[in-house]
């Protein structure tokens, strides 16, 4: 147990961490495992047999429990519905050829979950405890991890306020849940994106760095406007001048110009710190590929396209890992990017990370957490 965690949160959490190895598990008596079409898995529509539930009340986290997956009952005045205290994470588990099960970099998700808790005025779950709860949940439903290449078990931890109270203040009670979904590919094809110059995903001093539900709800209308024009996603720009690129849809965004990776810096509090983007950057640096994390202007990217210097552009996120961008729309123009099959850097990194997750190559970074 990390001593700083113990000091900050006390013996109660240490006791909980020890007890998670003997957590109460109530197995389902009505599994639908055999009803799943494992060759054609949609993303986010098939759910595994169980879910982990842990409540917060009386100023502390209660003992977690794993139950059969099912609906939850909430009061009409549940504060999360009215005031938006709701955050989540996303990660994946994969099964190696020898049967070992791994979760990819859950410590980073745990840290980001803590940061989201703090920004949204919600009780923090210590990193060690978060990772152990994820491990236990995956262990219980490990048979739901698909064996097909490119498929995985998506893990969704989330936390929401549960006070039965109509009044604007931080809730005093919360519910933490983890469920899992066997999934196929998030995108079935490369994506077309449009650079957005009016709507804003996040502003300085806002909640752009938190993985809170409201960020995604606010993005739906502008995204729909883009989809009506033939684009899959938007490229978000800064909320002040719309001159600088920040994210792509629900992912971080990465460009390759003249053999160099260029990506918006996460120092600004308007950009979500991405686990996959960080992994892309660290793999590239380990291979000697130059990387610049800095402000990236729209003008720079459009100029690079016009001059034939933009070799690659892709989104980086848990759901898709790497989503190749085929076209970029800017004002009245649509620019077609180089063919996907010829993109050396992104394809090489994607294959390496996918192979690492499935145990095909050695995990020299220590990123794959064995369940």
Please check whether residues 196 and 74 belong to one and the same domain: no
Q: Are 87 and 132 contacting, i.e. CB atoms less than 8 angstroms apart?
A: no
**Residue 370: inside a domain, yes or no?**
no
Q: What span, in angstroms and rounded, lies between the C-alpha atoms of 96 and 94? A: 7
Q: Which two tokens stand for residue 113?
A: 């979950």
Per-residue pLDDT of the chain (371 residues; tens, 9 = 90+): 455 544 555 556 556 666 666 799 999 999 999 999 999 999 999 999 999 999 999 999 999 999 999 999 999 999 999 999 999 999 999 999 889 999 999 999 999 999 999 999 999 999 999 999 999 999 999 999 999 888 999 999 999 999 999 999 999 999 999 999 999 988 889 999 999 999 999 999 999 999 999 999 999 999 999 999 999 999 999 999 999 999 999 999 999 999 999 999 999 899 999 999 999 999 999 999 999 999 999 999 999 999 999 999 999 999 889 999 999 999 999 999 999 999 999 999 999 999 999 899 999 999 999 99
Please check whether residues 58 and 172 belong to one and the same domain: yes
**Residue 366: inside a domain, yes or no?**
no
Of 139, 160, 185, the residue at which a domain comes to its end is 185
Q: Are 1 and 19 contacting, i.e. CB atoms less than 8 angstroms apart?
A: no
Of 160, 185, 210, the residue at which a domain comes to its end is 185
Sign for the pseudo-dihedral over CA of 120, 126, 127, 131:
negative
Helix H or strand E segment including 338: none
At a CB cut-off of 8 Å and minimum separation 6, what does 41 contact? 146, 151, 182, 183, 184
Q: What span, in angstroms and rounded, lies between the C-alpha atoms of 6 and 106? A: 19
Return the bridge partners of 103, or none: 93, 369
Of 130, 160, 185, the residue at which a domain comes to its end is 185
Please check whether residues 247 and 207 belong to one and the same domain: yes
Q: What is the CATH number of the domain that holds 356?
A: 3.20.10.10
Q: What is the CATH number of the domain that holds 88?
A: 3.30.470.10
Please check whether residues 69 and 41 belong to one and the same domain: yes
Please check whether residues 96 and 141 belong to one and the same domain: yes
**Residue 251: inside a domain, yes or no?**
yes
Please check whether residues 22 and 137 belong to one and the same domain: yes
- Distance between first and last Cα of the chain: 17
Please check whether residues 177 and 206 belong to one and the same domain: no
Please check whether residues 119 and 200 belong to one and the same domain: no
Q: Are 104 and 355 contacting, i.e. CB atoms less than 8 angstroms apart?
A: no
**Residue 369: inside a domain, yes or no?**
no
**Residue 92: inside a domain, yes or no?**
yes
Q: What span, in angstroms and rounded, lies between the C-alpha atoms of 69 and 244? A: 43
Q: Are 86 and 74 contacting, i.e. CB atoms less than 8 angstroms apart?
A: no
Q: Which domain holds residue 82?
A: 3-185
The CA-based angle 368-369-371, given to 5 degrees, is 130
SS3 label, residue 328: strand
Return the bridge partners of 336, or none: 327
Predicted TM-score (pTM) of the model is 0.93
Of 112, 124, 215, nearest to 174 by C-alpha is: 124
**Residue 108: inside a domain, yes or no?**
yes
At a CB cut-off of 8 Å and minimum separation 6, what does 221 contact? 199
Please check whether residues 141 and 20 belong to one and the same domain: yes
Q: What is the pLDDT of residues 309-345, one digit of tens each?
A: 999 999 999 988 999 999 999 999 999 999 999 999 9
Burial of 24 (0-12, 13-18, 19+ CB in 10 A): exposed
Q: What span, in angstroms and rounded, lies between the C-alpha atoms of 33 and 313? A: 38
In this structure, the number of other CB atoms found within 10 A of the CB of residue 83 comes to: 18
Q: At 32, give phi and psi (nearest 5°).
A: -110, 20
Q: Which letter does DSSP use for residue 116 in this model?
A: H
């Amino acid at each position: 147990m990390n001593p700083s965690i113990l000091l900050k949160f006390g013996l109660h959490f240490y006791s909980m961490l020890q007890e998670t190895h003997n957590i109460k598990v109530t197995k389902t008596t009505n599994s639908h495992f055999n009803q799943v079409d494992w060759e054609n898995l949609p993303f986010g529509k098939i759910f595994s047999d169980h879910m982990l539930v842990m409540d917060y009340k009386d100023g502390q986290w209660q003992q977690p429990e794993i139950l059969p997956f099912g609906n939850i009952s909430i009061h009409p005045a549940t504060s999360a519905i009215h005031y938006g205290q709701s955050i989540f994470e996303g990660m994946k588990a994969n099964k190696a050829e020898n049967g070992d099960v791994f979760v990819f970099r859950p410590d980073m998700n745990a840290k980001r979950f803590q940061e989201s808790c703090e920004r949204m005025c919600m009780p923090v779950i210590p990193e060690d405890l978060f990772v152990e709860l994820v491990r236990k949940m995956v262990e219980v439903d490990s048979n739901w991890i698909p064996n097909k290449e490119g498929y995985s078990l998506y893990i969704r931890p989330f936390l929401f306020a549960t006070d039965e109270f109509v009044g604007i203040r931080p809730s005093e009670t919360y519910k933490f849940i983890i469920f899992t979904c066997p999934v196929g590919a998030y995108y079935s094809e490369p994506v077309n994106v449009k650079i957005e110059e009016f709507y804003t995903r996040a502003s300085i001093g806002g909640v752009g760095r938190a993985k809170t539900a409201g960020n995604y709800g606010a993005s739906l209308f502008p995204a729909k406007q883009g989809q009506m024009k033939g684009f899959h996603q938007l490229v978000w720009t800064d909320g002040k001048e719309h001159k600088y690129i920040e994210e792509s849809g629900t992912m971080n965004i990465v460009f390759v110009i003249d053999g160099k990776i260029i990506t918006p810096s996460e120092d600004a509090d308007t950009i979500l710190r991405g686990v996959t983007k960080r992994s892309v950057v660290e793999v590239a640096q380990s291979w000697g590929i130059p990387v610049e994390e800095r402000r990236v202007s729209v003008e720079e990217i459009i100029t690079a396209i016009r001059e034939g210097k933009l070799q690659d552009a892709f989104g980086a996120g848990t759901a898709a890992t790497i989503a190749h961008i085929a076209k970029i729309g800017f004002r009245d123009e649509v620019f077609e990017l180089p063919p996907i099959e010829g993109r050396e850097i992104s394809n090489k990194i994607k294959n390496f990370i996918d192979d690492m997750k499935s145990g095909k190559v050695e995990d020299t970074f220590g990123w794959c957490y064995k369940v």
